[in-house]
């Protein structure tokens, strides 16, 4: 009688567990797909668990997980393995504000994922919308320097990318230093007035293209040092060139000590 009671109790316990349904068993064994399972579990935590450290960046912003993926690791694994999953790739949402679902997800290298964030800088370069970091990598440019030109100095993308950096031996500044030209003047000729680099470097600083002013319509004047006629760039200009200005300054300093 006692043995029959124990047997009945055990059968009842088994029937009550999971409402008589056997516990789930994944077709894709976790032991053989540990990395993929960690990715799936990480998505669930970010989207569903409020105590997760990154919930406010995902579930807290309304980003959801596909219902089929949420209910079954097998559904997620089936999609992943049939859509290019490899151990050296990471899951990426095409729309950073969209959900984790088959239509919005793909597998990419981890380095590429770092380029697609909410704070990613997008620019128009030669008619194409492209990530600033990506174009810098393609052209082997220093990202921080180009980023500074675009975000802080207000340069348009094409000028910021195509203008050589100071650290380059063939940079515009290095060329100016080699011939003793004023860098700011040469730079303005190229970026603001549309001169070619060859024109901007070949015309002496302080003179316009073919001897004319940088800005058309200014008045004629005589250099206070050499007496040569020139066209003023601004109303206060007294010298025809940087050389005359600096020479005059040195001469006036000498006279002070005579």
What pLDDT is attached to residue 214?
A: 43
Length of the chain, please?
258
Per-residue pLDDT in tens (0 to 9) along the chain, 258 residues:
455 445 555 555 554 444 444 445 678 888 888 999 999 999 999 999 999 888 988 899 899 999 999 988 999 999 999 998 988 888 988 888 889 999 999 998 866 655 555 556 777 778 877 777 788 888 788 877 888 788 877 788 888 888 877 655 667 777 887 787 888 888 888 877 778 878 888 887 654 444 444 444 345 678 888 878 777 766 677 888 888 888 888 888 877 765
What pLDDT is attached to residue 47?
A: 92
Is the pTM above the cut of 0.85?
no
Q: Please, where are the H alpha helices in 64-202?
A: 67-71, 73-81, 110-113, 132-139, 143-151, 157-162, 172-179, 183-191, 197-202
| β-pair partners for 92 | 106
Q: Is the CB of residue 231 less than 8 Å from the CB of residue 218?
A: yes
What pLDDT is attached to residue 111?
A: 63
What pLDDT is attached to residue 242?
A: 82
What pLDDT is attached to residue 22?
A: 43
- Three-state DSSP state, 100: strand
Cα gap 240→226, rounded to integer Å: 8
What pLDDT is attached to residue 81?
A: 92
Task: Let me know the angle formed at the C-alpha of 95 by 159 and 51, rounded to the nearest 5 degrees.
Answer: 120
């Amino acid at each position: 009688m006692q043995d029959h009671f124990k047997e009945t109790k055990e059968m009842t316990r088994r029937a009550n567990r999971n409402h008589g349904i056997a516990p789930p068993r994944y077709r894709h064994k976790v032991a053989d797909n540990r990395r993929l399972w960690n990715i799936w579990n990480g998505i669930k935590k970010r989207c569903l668990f409020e105590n997760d450290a990154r919930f406010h960046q995902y579930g807290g912003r309304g980003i959801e997980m596909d219902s089929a993926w949420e209910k079954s690791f097998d559904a997620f694994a089936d999609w992943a393995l049939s859509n290019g999953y490899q151990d050296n790739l990471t899951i990426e949402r095409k729309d950073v504000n969209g959900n984790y679902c088959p239509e919005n997800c793909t597998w990419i290298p981890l380095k590429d994922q770092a380029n697609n964030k909410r704070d990613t800088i997008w620019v128009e370069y030669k008619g194409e919308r492209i990530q600033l970091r990506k174009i810098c990598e393609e052209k082997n440019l220093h990202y921080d320097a180009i980023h500074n030109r675009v975000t802080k100095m207000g340069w348009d993308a094409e000028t910021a990318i195509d203008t050589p950096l100071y650290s380059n031996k063939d940079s515009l500044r290095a060329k100016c230093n080699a011939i003793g030209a004023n860098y700011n003047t040469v730079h303005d000729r190229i970026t603001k007035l549309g001169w070619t680099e060859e024109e901007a470097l070949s015309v002496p600083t302080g003179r316009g293209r073919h001897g004319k002013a940088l800005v058309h319509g200014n008045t004629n004047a005589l250099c206070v040092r050499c007496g040569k006629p020139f066209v003023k760039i601004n109303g206060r200009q007294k010298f025809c060139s940087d050389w005359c200005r600096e020479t005059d300054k040195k001469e006036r300093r000498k006279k002070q000590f005579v």
